[in-house]
Structure 1
Amino acid sequence: MSYTPLEDYGIIGNQETVALVGRDGAIDWCCLPSIDSPSVFAAILDDQRGGRFTVQPTASFESLQEYVDRTNVLKTRFRTASGRATVTDFMPVPPLARDCQTPMETVFRRLTCERGQVELRVDFAPRFEYARTMPTVEPTKDGVVTQGANEQMFLSSSIPLSVSTHSAGTTTTLEEGDTHWLVLGYGHESTLESDYYREILDDVVDYWRDWVHTCPDTGACPVGGPWHRTVVRSALVLKLLINHETGAICAAPTMSLPEDIGGVRNWDYRYNWIRDSAFTVRALTELGHSAEARDYFNLCLDHCSRGPPSDINPIYGVHGNPVPDERTLDHLSGYRGSAPVRVGNAATDQHQVDVYGELIHGIYETTRYGATIEEDDWTAMCDLIDYMCEAWEEPDAGIWEMRTDCQQFVYSKVMCWVALDRGLRIVAETGFDAPTERWEACRREIKETVLEKGYSEMADSFVSTFGDDDRLDATSLLIPLVGFLPADDSRVQSTIDATLDRLLVDDGLVMRYEGDDGLPGEEGAFLLCSFWLVSALAQSGRVDEAEAIFEDARQHASPLGLLSEEVDPEEGLQLGNVPQAFSHLGLINGALALSDGPDIGHPPDEADVNPSAETDVAKNLQCSATPDYTTQSRSESENQ
């Protein structure tokens, strides 16, 4: 079999794990019981030995995927010469799993024939422990059980299955109106009850529709207009990536999908990066999902109290556990031959001083939406902020997690400034004790140093590291967005212009940076950077330019509205782990920036803090109307 293009996958999940379902009807990636557990299907990383769970017609077919309106319930529709059939895939969500007898670690696949007659092939071939274990498969009363590596899965089926040593399958002919169920349970067996399964499906659909952002008829929606549908889908993607117990957002549900086809830029992203915090809070709260934003707020506070500030890692597991040591899985060939396949992430041991600013900024942003910092929490935060007075001068690996020697990254210094700046604002608004004179002096010193060493007259732009004469970095676009300089500052505007001239490539795509990063090969354009550019332009009042880039960038979403980490600028193909939380967060915040225009909310200059004005920004939008948000096929969505 050949590898499925990344844009031809949909996702389903239960807020604990995610499965990738191809447009060909194959589940090619799934980790159970959690998103960072070893895989049970990994054909996306090795189409020969990785393992998959396929349901598809035996004859030639055309197919498309769509989500049930305003949900994460996925339909794969097949059309053959003889008829039409649909596979509906979903997993139970936490509230329903608690209220019924179906555990969360369950994948439902409903097979339905809508017209004519369709012969379907079922092929169940799990492979445990990243395909290192070839499990046994044996028949049961209602299906099969597969065992190996101290793991056990049951597949209950209303269709009789034939069993071989390591797989099970069958072919079956569906007539118009026929429905069958395949129910995969990790560690448990499901009794075949079709009526009960239909009730679960209805409840899952209701859950997503109750959760999803809707907006009133009054025109008060923060993302009303042509991008509404796209933003809603991005929020639904994010919800699948948010762990229901901890509130941590997983950067992506996949690992080792390449940034360079055939190359070595293959990383495991199934973890929570602290730096997502500030981007997450605004995106969720503006869309009315205040509970998720508060959960993330509490997670940020927990990070502050993990121990000495110097011990904070940039990455954690979604349950707060340490990220595993990075290692390679040499028995897997990699997506389209892109090896090595890596599991774990060595970046967890890197020194990244920017994460302190992002952590404090995330907490501060949540207070602007009504959250309260307790005095005990402030003690830990105060220690962390004060640590910036010592650590800001240290070289680090930076936001892009360079695997070269540590450097003096401009963005890292800006975020150290942000940590001190937001700390001072919190003190001004709460009256908490803090060494404010020390912080003010350090904040001023950082700013003066960045303006002196981080801006290049030669490039007429902020640059990547201190001392660079001409190396651009898209992180400079965040300088106005975090309030380091106002958007109308000439240095901000010249940096935006330099980015447009040198980092922007065709179709709204923006490269991360210029220069060597210590790794062989080339990467694609980074979608998050496109949305940073949109936000910077919008905040500058250059709304027409921002809208044009936003429109171009969002066209790189899959037919289902899913965004990868990167895009190949030449071929337009998605690259990297997918779907990427950072990309979807960027899209939402870009749309919010376009809706707000130059008045986008950001902290005032440090010399003019007005706590009461900050408090006025707080809002928790609750919307009521229910417009149609169905994710459609490519041909339909491109015409909207």
Structure 2
Amino acid sequence: MRTAIGDYALLSDCQTAALVSKGGAIDWLCLPCFDSRAVFARVLGEDAGHWSIAPRGESAPRRSYLAGSLVLRTEYRTPAGEVAVTDALATGPNAGGHELGADAPHVLVRVLEGIRGDVEIEAEFAPRPEYGLVRQLLIPVDGGLRCHGGPHALGLSSPVPLDVSDCAHARFTVRPGERIAFALDYVLAGQTPRLRTPEETEDLLAETLGAWRGWSALHERYRGAWQDEVHHSGRVLQALTYRPSGAIVAAPTTSLPEAMGGPRNWDYRYSWVRDAAFALNALWTAACPDEAVAFFDWMAQAAAADPRAGRDLQIVFGVRGECDLTERELGHLPGWRDSSPVRIGNDAWQQRQLDVYGELLCAAHRLRAYLPRADATTLHFLASLVDTACARWKEPDEGIWEVRSGRRHFVYSKLMCWMATRCGIQMADLLGAEDRVPYWRRVGDEIRAAIEEQGWNDEVGAYTQAFGSRVLDASTLMMPLVGFAPADDPRMLATIHAIHAHLTDARGMVYRYAAMDDGLDGGEGTFLLCTFWLAGALALAGEVDEAERVFERAAATANDVGLMAEEVDTRTGELLGNFPQAFSHVGLVNAAWMISRVRSGAIGPQNVADGSAFCSD
């Protein structure tokens, strides 16, 4: 597949997502939820399914989301005239407020509108369930097609006649003022999919646009620098939320590579506990305190599901709370631009990552006003997380970057265990654990001393990736952001400057870490989240002008509809990795808030050591 990752736009009904290219092709859609088996997967293989609608011949597309929504409008200018296509995943009749997508009907809507001239359109519909393994039987009926085969039955509502072979084709003309509405309905195999009239399809589109705008009107409360970008990122995070549970997926795709040709290709259609502190902070800042509470409720319940003593806290779950995410490869798919293997599942679920104790507690701290309403079991569970962090912080783990080269004593993991003690101490009265405070404070002091002694490298002149290591790692930028040390502390400032000077590419974008054995072949691009971390750390250090320049470089990588991937190719500037990436939009929101607060004088190095930069209001 040659289409660039950045050429795609996102559609979402807050239960699943689709990717639509500038050329009008739906090349990715899993039904009925984010981690279901794909119906369209051409982004990972040419024969894995698509649905394209676009003008025949040469055309120049221009697209944007309709204001306050994730309803996409693409206008095509051709030699014969202009036509627009409006695409949406229907959110359902009771959408709006903080329940957007709760009753999503699993319908993809595509409406053409003639603007100027008579424009000839070509459409091709090729559903391929099971990631391209199944070729459905397409049955022409009045009003469209019914499609059977595999786990899905589909109903394609079409007001134009379709020629059917192993896929369906149509050529037709759209005239000025004319509207032609298509809809794709999903049901389980054995059920009869619905076919809709054009009027019903138009109603779904209008309902969905109104639902998104209703949600935005209630939730967009951030006022500050880069306000439009922050609000849009809030909508993207909402789009990546699985509404029935409140879980947020890391991205709606699998196996889009971190470097051309693979093999660093992972399935991100799951929800990481680590995302909690970052996503909750961003949701709270961008727009969405209700969504933050829903996400925390889901996360706490999923993480508390395994009570066996001594078991590592699981770090990633399915969107319904599933624990077993065993990874496997799909050998029949070549991958995006031949970047193989294509993987589904993610074996990170079996890793030990000790930082998650601090991140989950940081999320609870952000929502501490909500905790008095939490049940006693949840409060006991949170207190036990502090005890577990205190008991296990000396152990090695795979760390935030989920290395596959063996466990180490990662500085970031120790830092977040320290953060667990800080949050526990500050919430002790809410948790009914005042008697634990002396122990938590003593262990927190031990962790701090260990980081300062063993995490600092005199020869490198910076805090490094792991105890005794010489490797620079962008995760150490979190030290001032969580209040471990003021950003203008000499050691901290030296670390920020070392990363700024030696862990960035020619464009000024930040790598996750310097060259090291992480157990995987191949390289990767620069990491957008890390670049936003650098912007936030520079702002806290008082270097606000440079922080803004770093922020602008990272934000400028967004595509024409404001979406960011995980990484950026250091040679070409192309977006890389699963798309769109929640962490990148979280990074934008948190960095924008940080820079705005520092610029206004609300926070700075003098008052950040209490954690106010990251885990307070």
User: TM-score of the superposition, structure 1-length normalised?
Assistant: 0.90
Q: Indicate whether 1:492 and 2:489 are aligned.
A: no
Query: 1:43–1:100: structure 2 CA closer, same or farther, 3 Å change rule?
Result: closer
Structure 1 match to 2:304: 305
Distance between the aligned counterparts of 2:25 and 2:72, measured in 1?
Answer: 13
- 1:188-244 deviation line (CA, Å, top 9, x unaligned): 53443333332322222122112226899xxxx64424x122112111111100111
Q: Is the 8 A contact 1:246 1:319 kept in 2?
A: yes
- 1:378-426 deviation line (CA, Å, top 9, x unaligned): 2111222111122111111000000111111010011111111111110
Query: 1:351–1:553: structure 2 CA closer, same or farther, 3 Å change rule?
Result: same
Distance between the aligned counterparts of 1:298 and 1:198, measured in 2?
Answer: 36
Structure 1 match to 2:118: 117
Q: What SS class does the counterpart of residue 537 from structure 1 fall into?
A: helix
Percentage of identical aligned residues: 38
Matches within 5 A, 1:99-248: 104-164=105-165, 166-187=166-187, 189-212=193-216, 222-225=222-225, 227-248=226-247
Q: Which amino acid aligns with 2:449?
A: E
Distance between the aligned counterparts of 1:436 and 1:332, measured in 2?
Answer: 54
Structure 2 match to 1:17: 16
Structure 2 match to 1:634: none
Matches within 5 A, 1:290-369: 290-306=289-305, 307-308=307-308, 310-367=311-368
Q: Is the 8 A contact 1:508 1:550 kept in 2?
A: no
Determine which of 75, 78, 81 is the counterpart of 1:80.
Answer: 78
Query: 1:355–1:547: structure 2 CA closer, same or farther, 3 Å change rule?
Result: same
Distance between the aligned counterparts of 1:546 and 1:99, measured in 2?
Answer: 35
Distance between the aligned counterparts of 1:235 and 1:91, measured in 2?
Answer: 18
Matches within 5 A, 1:554-593: 554-593=555-594
Distance between the aligned counterparts of 1:92 and 1:241, measured in 2?
Answer: 15
Q: What SS class does the counterpart of residue 76 from structure 1 fall into?
A: strand
Q: Is the 8 A contact 2:155 2:184 kept in 1?
A: yes
Q: What SS class does the counterpart of residue 466 from structure 2 fall into?
A: coil
Structure 2 match to 1:377: 378
Structure 2 match to 1:66: 64
How far is the alpha carbon of 1:500 from its aligned partner?
Answer: 0.8
Query: 1:155–1:304: structure 2 CA closer, same or farther, 3 Å change rule?
Result: closer
Q: What SS class does the counterpart of residue 539 from structure 2 fall into?
A: helix
Structure 1: any 5+ residue segments left out of the alignment? Answer: 619-640
Distance between the aligned counterparts of 1:389 and 1:603, measured in 2?
Answer: 28
Structure 1 match to 2:32: 33
How far is the alpha carbon of 1:286 from its aligned partner?
Answer: 2.1
Q: Is the 8 A contact 1:213 1:288 kept in 2?
A: no
How far is the alpha carbon of 1:506 from its aligned partner?
Answer: 2.9
Query: 1:100–1:268: structure 2 CA closer, same or farther, 3 Å change rule?
Result: closer
How far is the alpha carbon of 1:439 from its aligned partner?
Answer: 1.5
Query: 1:362–1:134: structure 2 CA closer, same or farther, 3 Å change rule?
Result: same
Q: Is the 8 A contact 2:234 2:287 kept in 1?
A: no
Distance between the aligned counterparts of 1:601 and 1:493, measured in 2?
Answer: 14
Query: 1:367–1:101: structure 2 CA closer, same or farther, 3 Å change rule?
Result: closer
Distance between the aligned counterparts of 1:99 and 1:477, measured in 2?
Answer: 35
Query: 1:300–1:191: structure 2 CA closer, same or farther, 3 Å change rule?
Result: closer
Q: Is the 8 A contact 1:223 1:595 kept in 2?
A: no
Structure 2 match to 1:50: 48
How far is the alpha carbon of 1:492 from its aligned partner?
Answer: 0.8
C-alpha root-mean-square deviation of aligned residues, in Å? 2.5
Q: What SS class does the counterpart of residue 181 from structure 1 fall into?
A: strand
- 1:229-280 deviation line (CA, Å, top 9, x unaligned): 2112111111100111111110000000011111201100000010011111
Distance between the aligned counterparts of 2:280 and 2:13, measured in 1?
Answer: 21
Structure 2: any 5+ residue segments left out of the alignment? Answer: none
Number of residues paired by the alignment? 604
- 1:454-473 deviation line (CA, Å, top 9, x unaligned): 011111110001111x2100
Matches within 5 A, 1:497-508: 497-508=497-508
Q: What SS class does the counterpart of residue 208 from structure 2 fall into?
A: helix
Q: Is the 8 A contact 2:91 2:101 kept in 1?
A: no
Q: Which amino acid aligns with 2:32?
A: P
Task: Using the TM superposition, name which of 21-30 and 197-206 deviates more.
Answer: 197-206
Q: What SS class does the counterpart of residue 148 from structure 2 fall into?
A: strand
